[in-house]
Amino acid sequence: MFLLWLRVAAVLYGLASVSALPAVLGERPRWQKSCLFLTVAGWFVHVVAMVEVLVAAHRWMPVGMHEVQSTLSLLIVTAFLLVFLRYRTISFSVFALPLGFFLLLMPSLGPDRYTFSSPLVRSGWTYAHIALLLAAYAALIFSLLASFLYLAQERRLKNKQTPGFLEWLPPLDTMDQIAQKALVLGFYCMTGGLLIGSLIAQEHVGPTYFLDPKVVLSFVMWALYVLMIFVQRSAGLRGRRAAYLSSAVFVLMLCVWAANLLSSVHRYTTP
């Protein structure tokens, strides 16, 4: 029964992680309430699962990699909730909730490796993994392009030049919104792609997948992506600085792509 509770907690943490971005960066009250509700519900179910595991084993300390990961996930989410209760801020949810979710993901799959029900199902997830990562690259390229067009239009307006061949460009505010939304869309696609990739790879190599330094680099880059989006929204970056930020994110994504090409876990055969 504890495995069911862990899976429910993982799903709730995942939904809370998705709602954290608009809750924090968009400062939307409804998303904030949803994020907190999902987090508290997931935390409660997670506590029930951990108590059930430890009581059934007649011990009070976690043993084994999965139990340690699950406990660490619970402590991270608990720390976030305590910070919220003390300071009434959910800013840390952008980092704490995804981390708690990823740590709980493998324990929620069970003691053994998760196996797809059929090669067809596994192929579908593989295609989704590839499509999401390609969509992330496309969104980042679009964000980068919109940022550079913003710079060109801004420079023309400051110098009071005639539109010329740039007359087809939309207003500055429109291009800025396009760049920001494309950046956020790329983040969601990258997150989904990494998550599905983790699920596919663990079927072949098990939990050691997360010991691959190149895979760890991918998740580090993902964390930096979150940080850059947070900096852009909180500092209100526009124009030249926003273009530099989009360029930096794109370079990070290229590093992730190169690292995954060199990683041994990407050398298994796709059915």
pLDDT in tens, 23-44: 876 667 888 899 999 999 999 9
Asked if 96 and 82 touch (Cβ cutoff 8 Å), the reply is no
**Residues 156 and 35 occupy one common structural domain:** no
Is residue 31 situated within a structural domain?
Answer: yes
Number of structural domains found in the chain? 2
Is residue 271 situated within a structural domain?
Answer: no
- Domain end among 85, 109, 133: 109
**Residues 250 and 185 occupy one common structural domain:** yes
**Between 84 and 148, where is the model more confident?**
84
**Residues 154 and 75 occupy one common structural domain:** no
Distance, CA of 159 to chain centre: 40
- Domain end among 109, 132, 153: 109
**Residues 23 and 99 occupy one common structural domain:** yes
171-210 pLDDT tens trace: 777 877 887 788 888 888 888 888 787 777 766 665 556 6
**Residues 158 and 75 occupy one common structural domain:** no
- Among 164, 24, 135, 146, which Cα is nearest to 83's? 24
- Residue 214 is predicted with a pLDDT of 66
Q: Per-residue pLDDT for 170 more than 90?
A: no
Asked if 135 and 189 touch (Cβ cutoff 8 Å), the reply is yes
State the Cα–Cα distance between residues 210 and 131, nearest whole angstrom: 22
Is residue 21 situated within a structural domain?
Answer: yes
Q: For residue 77, give its domain range.
A: 2-109
Q: pTM of the predicted model, to two decimals? A: 0.69
- Residue 271 is predicted with a pLDDT of 47
Is residue 210 situated within a structural domain?
Answer: yes
Is residue 229 situated within a structural domain?
Answer: yes
Phi-psi region of 129 (alpha: psi -120 to 50; beta: other; left: phi over 0): alpha
State the Cα–Cα distance between residues 98 and 192, nearest whole angstrom: 12
- Residue 39 is predicted with a pLDDT of 95
**Residues 99 and 177 occupy one common structural domain:** no
**Residues 105 and 155 occupy one common structural domain:** no
State the Cα–Cα distance between residues 177 and 35, nearest whole angstrom: 24
**Residues 31 and 134 occupy one common structural domain:** no
As a whole-number percent, the residues of the chain with pLDDT over 90 amount to 15
Query: Which residue in the block uniquely carries the two structure tokens 């400051």?
Result: 158
Which two structure tokens, joined as six digits, stand for 91? 């800013």
- Among 98, 102, 100, which Cα is nearest to 20's? 98
State the Cα–Cα distance between residues 25 and 91, nearest whole angstrom: 8
pLDDT-derived band of residue 270, with 50, 70 and 90 as boundaries? very low
**Residues 105 and 127 occupy one common structural domain:** no
**Between 239 and 149, where is the model more confident?**
149
Is residue 114 situated within a structural domain?
Answer: no
**Residues 68 and 150 occupy one common structural domain:** no
- Averaged pLDDT of the chain: 78
- Domain end among 58, 85, 109: 109
5-14 pLDDT tens trace: 888 999 999 8
**Residues 103 and 77 occupy one common structural domain:** yes
**Residues 97 and 147 occupy one common structural domain:** no
- Number of helices (H), then strands (E), belonging to the chain: the values are 8, 0
Asked if 169 and 216 touch (Cβ cutoff 8 Å), the reply is no
Contacting residues for 113 by C-beta, under 8 A, at least 6 apart:
202, 203, 206
